[in-house]
């Protein structure tokens, strides 16, 4: 199969492309706008692989760029999105354009060319849950501009199945972590700050719970949905473990050999979801299962950041410094 992977230069997309080239015979072309989160370096090791057909620099909301990149493909897998909740609170515009208009543009292309379409989505479309876990039947109650635009995109995808018989499926993942994650997200931010002796900003009381999923497990889950998912269906893909933020940070402190004195409780995020939890029984019924527990995956992730300074140095010395100062009201060392 020939795949167009949109957003393949980002965190989960690049891990998916690498894994899929290893574990299938697919050919892959990537379309990516290369925003702050999309980086050519994330795919650099794949140059020279004859089934990696390269990266087209373009936006998913641009019909001409999409038409060009989609020539001759069998399926679109869409990772491309604005993804950070804090940025969606500060500046929602790009979320509406990319997550909304962008998804629409890809769906239109898929309809025109008769392509299989897989949308990569998130547990955040269900909102927060105090107890138990969300199933695919749970109501959609997004709380942030990020999750609201992802929800809109999911509904649009479903409408193309119902209205136009487009062979769509949706894979909803829980919080991912692993190599190549941009350090605006909790885990890489805390790892790099701990390594540098910068303070560790915990929102509110730090007792918010996330359902952690190692990025390779999500990659295999999305591949499973592409290969075996029924058209018109949604599949939850949740991690095997849940953990409150404060415990995640304390474990990172241990793994990096720093001190709990770095912990800094800061003002909470507005509209902060308390807990996410996904039931993945439906996808497990198709034969997928998460392989990596949080303890092991976190250790691997800390080791990756320790061993890949060249990857994060260019980020930490660039625009990220300004983002950080604005978001946290302090400078990085
Ligand atoms: P990311 O922010 O690391 O990467 C997003 C990628 O999309 C980047 O390469 C960026 O350049 C590209 N992009 C952004 N706007 C674009 C546009 N208009 N046109 C083309 N490319 C564009 O995100 P991620 O964490 O890898 O997330 C990928 C997908 O998985 C997203 O759809 C996200 O909603 C979903 N998801 C993420 C998580 C998580 O924990 N990170 C969990 C579940 C689902
Ligand atoms: P994040 O990685 O932004 O993912 P999401 O909000 O999509 O779940 O945040 C994970 C959790 O960590 C969330 O409860 C917010 C919290 N958090 C902090 O406490 N401090 C931080 O600096 C960041 C970025 C997140």
Find the 54 Cα to ligand 2 centroid distance in Å.
32
Find the 163 Cα to ligand 1 centroid distance in Å.
27
Instruction: Record the tokens describing residue 305, joined without a space.
Output: 């950041």
Find the 185 Cα to ligand 2 centroid distance in Å.
6
Mean pLDDT for 294-298 is 98
Which class for 25: exposed (0-12), middle (13-18), buried (19 or more C-beta within 10 A)?
exposed
Q: Positive or negative CA dihedral for 195, 199, 202, 206?
A: positive
Q: Which of 61, 82, 123, 198 is catalytic?
A: 123
- For 122-146, the pLDDT digits (tens) are 999 999 999 999 999 999 999 999 9
Please say if 123 is a catalytic residue: yes
CA distance 176 to 208: 16
- For 185-195, the pLDDT digits (tens) are 999 999 999 99
Tell me whether strands 209-214 and 241-244 are parallel, antiparallel or unpaired: antiparallel
Domain map (residue ranges) of the chain: 2-176+214-237
Q: Which of 146, 160, 182, 324 is catalytic?
A: 146
Instruction: Using a pLDDT cut of 90, give the percent of the chain over it.
Output: 100
Mean pLDDT for 295-306 is 98
CA distance 149 to 97: 9
| Confidence (pLDDT) at 122 | 98
Closest among 93, 119, 173, 108 to 7, alpha carbons compared: 119
Which class for 137: exposed (0-12), middle (13-18), buried (19 or more C-beta within 10 A)?
exposed
Residues with CB under 6 A from ligand 2: 85, 175, 185-186, 189, 201-203, 208, 210, 245, 269
CA distance 6 to 66: 9
CA distance 115 to 135: 27
Confidence band, pLDDT 50/70/90 cuts, at residue 108: very high
The continuous run of DSSP H or E covering 302 comes out as: helix 294-307
- For 202-243, the pLDDT digits (tens) are 999 999 999 999 999 999 999 999 999 999 999 999 999 999
| Confidence (pLDDT) at 173 | 98
Find the 209 Cα to ligand 2 centroid distance in Å.
10
- Minimum CA distance residue for ligand 1 atom 41: 176
Q: What does pLDDT average to over the chain?
A: 98
| Confidence (pLDDT) at 306 | 98
Mean pLDDT for 44-48 is 97
Query: What are the φ/ψ torsions at residue 103 (nearest 5 degrees)?
Result: -60, -40
| Architecture of the domain made up of 2-176+214-237 | 3-Layer(aba) Sandwich (3.40)
Please say if 146 is a catalytic residue: yes
């Amino acid at each position: 199969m020939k795949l167009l992977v949109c957003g393949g230069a980002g965190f989960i997309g690049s891990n998916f492309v690498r894994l899929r080239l290893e574990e299938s015979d697919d050919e892959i072309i990537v379309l990516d706008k290369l925003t702050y989160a999309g980086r050519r370096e994330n795919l650099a090791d794949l140059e020279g692989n004859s089934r990696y057909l390269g990266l087209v620099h373009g936006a998913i909301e641009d019909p001409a760029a999409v038409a060009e990149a989609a020539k001759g493909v069998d399926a679109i897998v869409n990772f491309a999105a604005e993804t950070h909740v804090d940025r969606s609170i500060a500046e929602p515009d790009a979320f509406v354009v990319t997550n909304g208009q962008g998804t629409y543009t890809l769906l239109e292309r898929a309809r025109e060319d008769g392509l299989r379409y897989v949308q990569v989505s998130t547990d955040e479309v269900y909102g927060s849950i105090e107890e138990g876990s969300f199933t695919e039947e749970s109501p959609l109650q997004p709380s942030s501009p990020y999750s609201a635009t992802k929800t809109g995109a999911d509904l649009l995808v479903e409408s193309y199945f119902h209205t136009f018989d487009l062979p769509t499926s949706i894979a909803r993942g829980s919080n991912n972590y692993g190599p190549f994650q941009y350090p605006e997200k909790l885990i890489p931010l805390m790892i790099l700050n701990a390594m540098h002796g910068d303070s560790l900003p915990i929102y509110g009381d730090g007792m918010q719970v996330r359902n952690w999923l190692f990025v390779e497990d999500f990659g295999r889950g999305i591949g499973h949905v592409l290969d075996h998912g029924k058209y018109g269906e949604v599949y939850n893909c949740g991690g095997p473990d849940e953990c409150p933020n404060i415990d995640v940070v304390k474990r990172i402190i241990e793994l990096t050999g720093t001190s709990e004195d770095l912990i800094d409780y800061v003002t909470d995020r507005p509209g902060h979801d308390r807990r996410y939890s996904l039931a993945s029984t439906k996808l497990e019924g198709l034969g997928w299962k998460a392989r990596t527990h949080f303890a092991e995956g976190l250790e691997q992730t800390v080791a990756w950041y320790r061993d890949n300074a060249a990857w994060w140095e260019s980020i930490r010395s660039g625009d990220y410094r300004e983002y950080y100062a604005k978001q946290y009201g302090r400078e990085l060392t």
